Amino acid sequence: METTMLGYDWPQLHAALNDLPTALLLTAVLFELIAVVARRPGFRQVSFWTLIVGAVGGAAAVISGLQAEEHIEHGEAVHQVMETHEQLGLITLGVFGVLALWRILRERRMGSLERALALILSLGGAAVLFVTANYGGRLIFEHAAAIPSRVLQNELQQRTGEHEHSGEAGHTHPASDSMSASPLPAAQPAVDSTGTRPHTHAPGTPQHDH
């Protein structure tokens, strides 16, 4: 996989950039809600600056995610989840980006009705953010999307072999006869002239557009 300037490949960089903006944006919504309920302007200021930083971080996460899509080996099932995750990520960025710009321009002049509308938009953005994160988790934990095929193949072979835990003599996992008799073929995508692995799909999966 292509290595970025930070020493990560794109999927790794995307994973590294996800958590902070997610936490910041949710925190911004929480503090805005507290400010409305408790009528404490100080919480609103915390919400404002947290939202701005979170929106900038969200843009970085989305950009890295779009790059990561082109460097992940995947089949049709992963592609469908990935496309939904991408669309939701763009919607999330759009909601919080508009909200951030709105508050930059109107923060000191918002009336009660405008403030309420901004809060409703914030809560809607938080809901979409939760769903976006859920689809991202499915890519990792259900499809192992960011793990190269050769690494996954080696891991499967190790899991089916016998091993002993340190300090637990006699604790072994025997190899599965069916797995050892029919090992999964290792996937070795070709490397193009730029040194990166192209967009690949599992054998037999139908073609699809990006």
What is the per-residue pLDDT across 40-86, written as a single tens digit (0 to 9) for each? 888 999 999 999 999 999 999 999 888 887 777 666 777 888 899 99
* 4 belongs to a structural domain: no
Confidence band, pLDDT 50/70/90 cuts, at residue 200: low
Residue 186 included in any domain? no
Please check whether residue 2 lies inside any domain of the structure.
Answer: no
Using the predicted structure, report yes or no on whether residue 182 has a pLDDT greater than 50: no
Q: Is 85 exposed, middle or buried (0-12, 13-18, 19+ CB in 10 A)?
A: buried
pLDDT value at position 207?
Answer: 57
User: Is residue 146 scored above 70 in pLDDT?
Assistant: no
Answer yes or no: is pLDDT of 209 > 90: no
Number of domains in the chain: 1
**79 falls within a domain:** yes
Residue 176: what pLDDT? 46
Q: Each residue of 92-140: pLDDT tens digit?
A: 999 999 999 999 999 989 988 999 999 999 999 999 999 999 988 888 8
Cα gap 30→44, rounded to integer Å: 10
Per-residue confidence (pLDDT) for residue 53, from 0 to 100? 97
What range defines the domain where residue 134 resides?
10-141
Which has the closest alpha carbon to 115: 207, 47, 200, 19? 47
The answer to whether residue 81 is domain-embedded is yes
pLDDT band at 180 (very low <50, low <70, confident <90, very high): very low
Cα gap 193→9, rounded to integer Å? 17
**Burial state string for 150-177 with b = 16 or more CB within 10 A and e = fewer than 16:** eeebeeeeeebeeeeeeeeeeeeeeeee
pLDDT of residue 153: 75
Long-range contact pairs involving 118-123 (C-beta distance under 8 Å, separation at least 24): 118/32, 119/32, 119/33, 119/36, 121/95, 122/28, 122/29, 122/32, 122/33, 122/51, 123/29, 123/33
pLDDT score recorded for residue 162: 62
Q: Is residue 160 part of a domain?
A: no
Domain assignment of residue 42, yes or no: yes
| pLDDT classification of 4: cutoffs 50, 70, 90 | low
Instruction: Return left, alpha or beta for 202; rule: phi > 0 is left, psi -120 to 50 is alpha, else beta.
Output: beta
* Predicted pLDDT of residue 34: 93
Residue 181 is assigned to a structural domain of this protein: no
pLDDT at 61: 92
